[in-house]
Structure 1
Amino acid sequence: MSEVKGDTLTHIDAEGHARMVDVSEKAVTTREARAEAYITMLPETLAMIVDGTHKKGDVFAVARIAGIQAAKRCSDIIPLCHPLMLSSVKVELVPELDSNQVRIETICRLSGQTGVEMEALTAASAAALTLYDMCKAVDKGMVIHTVRLLEKKGGKSGHWKV
């Protein structure tokens, strides 16, 4: 979605064409974003992941790497995102046995001229998709849900939290 400044969309030029926002005049500040995603699955599937008995190996390790890689490549996936020099990407995968799901939380951080919300969201999404991919042979009914931004810090707009 385009950012709105006053009554103008910043990702749309005067002729209505899409464009990448010019951030060259923005101050370099420390910026951070947290996002989450969930994937619900059969209890047997979650147990296999937690117990480490999945035939594909350490599912959480692969999903964590996928999330980190996705954050780093966000501008290749989301057309108008700036390529960013991330200083930190964290991907936490927490099994929630009582609800047969995995909670994925990501944190992206940098010192730069634009935010890292899309990188955090992309990391959470890719980690969830990787869990699905690695487990689909045993559980095709998994559901990825509640992908959302939890918090952002830094920049002119300051601190925002759910």
Structure 2
Amino acid sequence: MSPKNEKLFDILRKKNIREWNTAEVHGHIIEQFLNVEDLIDDLILDFVKPSKPDTFKKVFLNSSIVTIGAKVKIIANYGVDNKILDKIRRLTNIRNGFSHSRIHGNIRIILGEVNSDKSREITTEAESVISVMNSNGKLETKNAHDLLQEFIDTKNELVVLLKAILPKEVIKEAPKRREVPPVE
């Protein structure tokens, strides 16, 4: 990396999510969620049409000031389809799970039946898991890879749906988002 770029982070280049470490998983989810939130902000800007859009987005739509939940309520009142709203809520739920929980290893030891020679087959299964809150407010342990894949799939579907309802000139004017290539 050249000296002038040494303070820049590189975009994730790994192609398979099983190659990622936990920090990369957390970072990917946060970065990609911000891309979705930018599209939601663009949608609100298109609805409101403020006289100073950059200031409005920087201040009034700043996620430190206006939560994603509030933004969902705003676009719901502008008639955005429930299918899109549900996907945003699900993506938010997954993001929150990864943001507030650690990924840890879980090993399960399975003892087979005792054989005639008194031996027993023993198998082990290992997986990365995360504790997340379900819609009833109860904690559940989920496979972290499966949840990450659900996040990726839902995010990809949501981006297509949001771009379909945004006017083309809004999409063209929007800043380039750091999209990570699809992963397997």
TM range (shorter): 0.3 to 0.5
More helix as a share of residues: 2
More strand as a share of residues: 1
Q: Please, what TM-score do these two structures have when normalized by structure 1?
A: 0.34
Q: Please, what TM-score do these two structures have when normalized by structure 2?
A: 0.31
Structure showing greater radius of gyration is 2
Which structure would you say has the larger RCO, counting Cα contacts within 8 Å and 6 or more residues apart?
Answer: 1
